[in-house]
Amino acid sequence: AFLFFERGERVENHQKYMDLAIDLAQKGRGQVNPNPLVGAVIVKDDVIIGRGYHEKYGGPHAERQALAACTQSAAGATLYVTLEPCCHHGKTPPCTEAIIDNKISRVVIGSTDPNPLVSGKGIEILRQQGITVITGVREEACQELNTVFFHYIKTKTPYVLMKYAMTLDGKIATHTGKSKWITGAEARQAVHQTRSEVAGIMVGVNTVLQDDPLLTCRIEDGKNPSRIICDSHLRTPLTAQVVATARKIPTYLATCSRDQHKIKRFEIMGCKILAVPPAGDHLNLQELMVQLGQKGIDSILLEGGGTLNFSALKSGIVNKLQVYLAPKIFGGAAAKTPVEGPGLEDPAEAFQFTDRKIKSFGADICLEYVKR
C-alpha cells in the first residue's frame, strides 16, 4: 500500500476519518437531490470533536453542520470532508468562510467539486488563508458517492438507471402477461429502496395499460419519486392509478400529442404535461431528459417495458443497468423480454456494459453494470 506521513500522521488515519465522513454522507441519500451527498468530521488531537452531513436539500452544508456540532473550539482542528468546500453564495453562505472563521488549520478533501461555481476555487481560497489542504483521500469512494450529482451538474440531465427483473430464460412475464412475481421479497425490497433514493421513476404507457401500477415506494419513511410516463399519443386512461393519485405524487405525462382537449383533462386531474418532440414514432428521449433536468430531476429509475427500454438504449440516455435474475424459467415464444423494439441487426452494434457488480438477494441475484 502507498504510505506517506503528514505531520507525523499516517495516511491510514486520514482514510479512517474520511470513511467516517462517507458513512455520514450516506445518511442524506434520497433527501438531498439534486444536491450532493456530503459528510464531514472534525478532529483535534486524534479525537473527533464534531460530525455532520448534508441532511436536506436547501439545508446547511455538511461542513457547517459539523462545526455546529463541535463539543469544543474547532481552532487548530482538521476538517475531513467528502467534497471540496463551497465558496459561493447559494441557498447557504460559503463554507470556506465558516472554515476560516472557526480557525480550522487543515482541511482534508475526498473529491473536488465539479460545480463550475466551486471547482478548485474552494481549495484555492483555503490555501490563500494559510490553511493546509490535502486532496484525493478516498477519492474514488467519494466520487462514487456522488455519481448522480457529478453527472447532473455536468450534463444538466438526469442519471438514468435501467432496471428489470427476469427469469433464467430472459422473460419479464409469462405469455399471458402475468409478472407477479418474478423475484422474491428481498429483491423487491431492494427495488423499493432504490425508488426512495431517485428523483424520478419512468415507465412507458404500455406498462400503465398492462399493469396499472402506482410506482410508489413502499418502505417505511420512504420518499416517492416523481412519476414519468412516456406516452407519445396520450393513451394513458384517465382512470389509471397514476392519474388518480397525481395530486399527491408529482406525475408527468411526456407526450407528442397536442390534443388540447385531452391535455386539459389530464391537467385537471393534477398531471403535468411535458410537450416533447417526436423521434420516429416515439418520443425524443434526449429532449425529455433536458426538460426533466430543468425541473431539478437528477436521477431516474427506468422500469421499462421492452419498447421503452430499447428506445432508451438506442437514444443513449441509459447510464447504469440493474438486472435482477430469478432462478426460474417461464418459456413461451410470446412471453415478453426486457428489451424489445426493433432490436439491432448485427452483434457488433450491441449496447455494451462494464464495471460488473454482483449482489445477492435471497435466491435471486442482481447484476449491476455501468453503460460503456
Give the binding site for Zn ion (CB under 5 A): 61, 86, 95
Type and span of the H or E element at 1: none
Nearer to ligand AOF, 91 or 264 (CB): 91
Q: How far apart are CA 247 and CA 19, in angstroms?
A: 41
Q: Distance between CA 41 and CA 326 in Å, rounded?
A: 41
Angle, vertex CA 273, rays to CA 269 and CA 278, nearest 5: 145
Q: How far apart are the first and last CA of the chain?
A: 30
Q: Is 54 near ligand AOF (CB under 6 A)?
A: yes
Angle at 352 between CA 349 and CA 357, to 5 degrees: 165
Task: Please state whether the peptide bond connecting residue 60 to the residue before it is cis, i.e. omega within 30 degrees of 0.
Answer: no
Q: Does 115 bind ligand AOF (CB under 6 A)?
A: yes
Closest approach of Cβ 123 to ligand AOF, in Å? 13
Name the segment binding ligand AOF (CB under 6 A); options: 30-38, 227-235, 282-290, 328-336: 30-38
Nearest partner of 97 among 65, 56, 64, 75, judged by Cα: 64
- Total residues contacting ligand AOF by CB under 6 A comes to 15
| 91 touches ligand AOF (CB under 6 A) | yes
CA distance 12 to 20: 12
Contact of residue 104 among Zn ion, ligand AOF, none (CB under 5-8 Å per partner type): none
Active site residue 63: yes
**Residue 35 contacts ligand AOF per CB under 6 A:** yes
The catalytic residue among 6, 9, 63, 144 is 63
| Residue of 216, 173, 169 whose CA lies nearest to 306 | 173
Name the binder of 90 from ligand AOF, Zn ion, none, CB < 5-8 A by kind: ligand AOF
Answer with the entry of Zn ion, ligand AOF, none that 336 interacts with (C-beta below 5 to 8 A by kind): none
* Residues taking part in catalysis: 63
For ligand AOF, the binding residues (CB under 6 A) are 35-36, 38, 54, 61-62, 83, 86, 90-92, 95, 113, 115, 118
